[in-house]
Each structure stands twice: as C-alpha cells, then as structure tokens.
Chain A
Amino acid sequence: MDSHTIEFEINGKRASLEVVSHRTLLQVLREDLHLSGTKEGCGEGECGACTVLVDGRSVTACLTLAVEVDGCSVRTIEGESEGPDLSPLQEAFVKNHALQCGFCTPGMIMSARALLERNPSPTEDQIKEAIAGNLCRCTGYRPIIQAIREAAARRKDQSAKG
C-alpha cells in the first residue's frame, strides 16, 4: 500500500511518521498518535467534531488526508493546555456551562481558538459564524457563545494590562 513518511509538528512537538495515503488526519491522530480528544461525528465535514488547526487554520480532520500535513504544524485539543491547568478559553467553557455531553467540545474549542487568533474581539454574529460548522445537540449554543465572548474579553483585559 502506498505510504509516505511525513514530518510535522504536533502540539508543538516534532514528529515523523509513516502514513498510508488513504488514511485521514483524524484516523492518524486518534489511532496512531493516540490523541483521542479529537472526535468523529460524521466523517463528512458536516459536524465539526474533528476540528483541528493546521498551520493555525481550522480544518475538519476527517476530510484531510494525513499525508497532506507533511511540513505543517498541527494543533489538537491536547495542545490547548497542560497538566492540571486549563487555558482561559477552556476555563470560560467550564464557567459558562458551555458543555453537556462533551462530545462536540474539543472541536468547538478548536474553532473558538482559531477565531480568537484571527479576530481577538469578535461580535456575537462573528462567533456564531465561526462555530456554525460545529454541531452541538445538547447546549443550544447560547452558553458556548457566551463562553467565547468571555474568553475574548479576558484576553483583551490581559493584553491591555500587560
């Protein structure tokens, strides 16, 4: 079977991996790298549960081939924080009850992360637009939108201070 050696950065660490051409980034993250925080909800780009960042841009890992990330930097939910700490975004999710079953949460946080990086003070409509590709059946989205607003506000406060 056709395979390639790819070199890329995963959550800040360099990795070199032999991957079969037809495997998706989602499969390789979950099965080969055991980064199971990224979820599969549809396999067709529609639900956003598999959202990860490739070179800072959000993509659906189910519609990205693993070979395609050769030379790229990939971030997953596992790279959002370390040890017992949470990132401000994660903290805002907790505080605002922005999760119920939690299955959409990793992808949702990655979409929010990408949004805040390209637009540190998004409007409510921009937040909705940014997460419209992440389906959530539990929360009704309202608390998620609130969490992202709060995380953005906190970031602004911090950068104003410091």
Chain B
Amino acid sequence: MFPPFRYFKPKRIEEVTAFLAEHGESARILAGGTDLLVGMRRGEFTPDVLIDIKGIPELQNLSADNGTLPIGAAVSVNDLLDSAEVAALFPILIQTALRMASHQIRNRATVVGNLCNASPAADMGAALLALGARVTIASPRSRRVLPLGEFFTGVKKSALGRDEWVISVEADTPPPGSRMGFLKQARVRGPDLSTVNCAAVLLPDGALTLVLGAVAETPVVVTGCGSDKGNGIADRVREAIAPIDDVRGSAEYRMDLACLMTRRMVEKLTADSRRG
C-alpha cells in the first residue's frame, strides 16, 4: 500500500527532464519499481510524482555500436539475459543477471535502476564498474557523461543533481581475449542480496579491474591488483574495503569473504586465460 502520488508516463526524454525540473525532489523516476515501490511501502520515500520512463522507445536501447554497448534506462535485467550480443561480448553481465533477484523481479528490474538506487550491494553496479562503464546523465542544461566510479558517492547516494537523471549506461567491449567474471555470496542459493559480491575484468595485457560490493559505502574498485596471486592482493583488498556488521553479515566475515572471493576470482580468470 502506497501513499497517493501522481503518475506520468512521458513518451520523450525531454518530457522527463522537464517534469524533473518542475517537481524537483518531490518527483521520482519509476523504472522497474523494484527498489522504489518497496521503499515507498516502507515509508522511506514519499514522492508526490512518479515519472514512468518505460514508455520512451530510446530507453529500450540495447545494441552494441562501434564497440560500445549502451544499456538504456528502461532495459530490464532479463532483457540482458535475452540478448545474444550481450552473451557473446559481456559474459560478466549474464553471470551477474543470473544471480540477481528472481525471474519475476528481473522482468521488471532495470540495469540502470540498480545503479541509480546506489546500494553498496548492487550487483550490476559491481559488474559495470569492473567494465569501466559510464552513465549518460540528462538535465535541463545539458547531457554529461560520468564514469561509474564517480557516480556512486555513498550508501544510496549518487552524483545525480536534483534535476538530473540517467538515460543509459555504456560499456566498451573489452578487447578480444579478455576474461571476466562475477561471484556472489549470499545467505541462500535462491534470490538474495549479496553478503559480498565480486566482479572482475582481466585484459589480455594483464591489467585487472576488480570490484568488491557490500563491503563499503559504495562498490569498491581495488586498484593495483595486477593479476598476481600472491598475498599482495589480499593486503590491497583489506586496505581498500571497510565492511560493517549488519543484518546480512559481520564485518569480519565480509572481510574474509572479500579476500577469498578475490583469490577465487583471480584464480578463475587466470585459469581461463591459460586455457585460452
């Protein structure tokens, strides 16, 4: 049961921008609603206006062009799973999608919504961060492109200004021979939020981008990992993350899981690349 609000379903990007400019804080974008409506039911937000963006054709965009994959703001997680292109070029997104929520939820949940909700445990957040993705942000003034690393600013906080919103997220196709993977630890094997997640991309030149989620206020890129398997990497993980005790796990368990998952990830990716 939700408190009353007004509902708009614009057909064009500019209308969304205009509505946001008009209503400011009291308006919220409704994508799949799987975070928003739960939050509203719990009284965490009480928007006066919901702007449903699923009626805008451009936001359904999901076709790679010139080595870049744009994922429009209305693309659902299951849309990703249905895309042969994504399966071929971005296996990490498929692995992530398969570990997210339930089939019913994924039919509604959008990839961009997962980013905009800015949960430290956001699974797509981790995977897209590992891919070095960027978000395209619209506002009445202009469009700007922001690396995802600068987009997440805190627990449920993003760099979006009050009249800004995200049109799409773009990821560049990794060069041939790249390896990538997603790992998730949760309390049950069925749908559950991550206790810790780990996403990584290993380029053919040996550069590794490793992301850990649910271990700090935002998903964390662990830098300077290389792909060495030594203890060095665990030390860097310990320095980079700052897990807390919460209902899903203790800081100690999360810290150890993060190190373990990092190790497993590096092993998996290097084994993959040896296999060729």
Residues of chain A at interface, number, CB under 8 A: 32
Interface size class of B (residues with CB under 8 A): 20 to 34
Shortest C-beta distance, A62 to chain B (Å), equals 8
Q: Which of A52-91 contact B (CB under 8 A)?
A: 57-60, 63-65, 67-68, 70
Q: Which of A1, A27, A114 contacts B103 (CB 8 A)?
A: A114
Across chains A and B, the number of contacting residue pairs, with CB separation under 8 Å, is 86
Given A133-B102, A133-B103, CB of A63 within 8 Å of CB of B108: yes
Alpha-carbon distance A129/B106, docked complex (angstroms): 12
Cβ-defined contact, A43 with B41, below 8 A: yes
Q: Which of A19-48 contact B (CB under 8 A)?
A: 20-22, 24, 27, 43-46, 48
Q: Which of B6, B33, B107, B189 contacts A58 (CB 8 A)?
A: B107
B98 contact set on A, CB distance < 8 A = 129
Cβ of B21 within 8 Å of any chain A Cβ, yes or no, is no
Cβ-defined contact, A22 with B2, below 8 A: yes
Cβ-defined contact, B50 with A57, below 8 A: no
Q: Which of B1, B9, B102 contacts A132 (CB 8 A)?
A: B102
Cβ-defined contact, A64 with B108, below 8 A: yes
Shortest C-beta distance, B98 to chain A (Å), equals 8
User: Could you list some 8 contacts between A and B, CB below 8 A?
Assistant: A21-B4, A43-B1, A44-B38, A45-B101, A46-B191, A65-B30, A133-B190, A133-B191
Q: Which of A21, A43, A46, A60 contacts B7 (CB 8 A)?
A: A21
Cβ-defined contact, A22 with B5, below 8 A: yes
Q: Which of B1-44 contact A (CB under 8 A)?
A: 1-7, 9, 30, 33-34, 37-38, 41
Alpha-carbon distance A87/B132, docked complex (angstroms): 48
Shortest C-beta distance, A82 to chain B (Å), equals 25
